[in-house]
Amino acid sequence: MKILVVGGGGREHAIASALSRNPDTEIYSVMIRRNPGIDAVAKKVHICRETDVKNAVGFAREEGVEYAFIGPEAPLEAGIVDALESAGIPCIGPTKAAARLETDKAFCRQMMDINQLDGCPLYRVFHSAAEAVNFIEEYDGDLVVKPIGLTGGKGVRIMGEQVDRAGAIAYARSLNGEVVLEERLLGEEFTLQAFVDGNHLVPMPLVQDHKRAFDGDTGPNTGGMGSYSMPDHILPFVSERVFLRSLAIMQSVVAAMERAESPYKGILYGQFMNTAQGPKVIEFNARFGDPEAMNVLSILSSDLSEIVCRISEGSLASSHVSFEPLATVCKYLVPEGYPDAPHAGDPITLPKNHPAVLYYANVEKKASGSFLTQTSRTLAYVGLGETLEVAERTAEQAASGVKGAVRYRQDIGTRALLERRIAHMKELL
For ligand GLY, which is the closer residue by CB, 151 or 322? 151
Q: Using the rule CB under 6 A, which residue among 66, 188, 209, 411 binds ligand GLY?
A: 209
Q: Is the dihedral of CA 421, 427, 428, 429 positive or negative?
A: positive
396 binds ligand GLY, rule: CB under 6 A: no
103 binds ligand GLY, rule: CB under 6 A: no
Least separation in angstroms between residue 290's CB and ligand GLY is 5
What number of chain residues touch ligand GLY (CB under 6 A)? 7
- Does the N-terminal peptide bond of residue 94 adopt cis geometry, omega within 30 degrees of 0? no
Least separation in angstroms between residue 313's CB and ligand GLY is 27
Least separation in angstroms between residue 153's CB and ligand GLY is 4
Q: Using the rule CB under 6 A, which residue among 274, 285, 374, 378 binds ligand GLY?
A: 285
3-state secondary structure (DSSP) of residue 262? coil
**CA proximity to 28, closest of 47, 8, 4:** 4
Strands (E), 7-74: 26-31, 42-47, 67-70
CA angle 285, 286, 289 (to 5 degrees): 55
Which one of the spans 51-59, 170-178, 284-292, 352-360 is the region binding ligand GLY (CB under 6 A)?
284-292
Least separation in angstroms between residue 224's CB and ligand GLY is 4
Query: 19: which DSSP letter?
Result: H
CB 149 within 8 A of CB 107: no
203 binds ligand GLY, rule: CB under 6 A: no
Least separation in angstroms between residue 88's CB and ligand GLY is 30
Distances (CA, A) of 288 to 36, 83, 109, 121, 349: 20, 21, 20, 23, 28
For ligand GLY, which is the closer residue by CB, 60 or 156? 156
CA 251 centroid distance within chain: 19
102 binds ligand GLY, rule: CB under 6 A: no
Neighbours of 301 (CB within 10 A): 11
DSSP notation for 404-424: ESEE--SSTT-HHHHHHHHHH
Q: Using the rule CB under 6 A, which residue among 93, 119, 153, 413 binds ligand GLY?
A: 153
385 binds ligand GLY, rule: CB under 6 A: no
For ligand GLY, which is the closer residue by CB, 77 or 290? 290
77 binds ligand GLY, rule: CB under 6 A: no
Helical spans, DSSP H, in 125-199: 129-138, 165-174
Distance separating alpha carbons of residues 312 and 293, to the nearest angstrom: 20
Least separation in angstroms between residue 149's CB and ligand GLY is 14
Helical spans, DSSP H, in 276-332: 292-298, 304-313
Q: Using the rule CB under 6 A, which residue among 12, 188, 292, 411 binds ligand GLY?
A: 292
Least separation in angstroms between residue 288's CB and ligand GLY is 7
Which one of the spans 16-24, 139-147, 178-186, 285-293 is the region binding ligand GLY (CB under 6 A)?
285-293
CB 380 within 8 A of CB 330: yes
Q: Using the rule CB under 6 A, which residue among 82, 104, 188, 290 binds ligand GLY?
A: 290
289 binds ligand GLY, rule: CB under 6 A: yes
Q: Using the rule CB under 6 A, which residue among 147, 224, 279, 339 binds ligand GLY?
A: 224
Secondary element (H or E) of residue 269: strand 265-275
For ligand GLY, which is the closer residue by CB, 303 or 411? 411
42-47 and 347-349 strand pairing: unpaired
For ligand GLY, which is the closer residue by CB, 59 or 284? 284
3-state secondary structure (DSSP) of residue 291? coil
Residues near ligand GLY (CB under 6 A): 153, 209, 224, 285, 289-290, 292
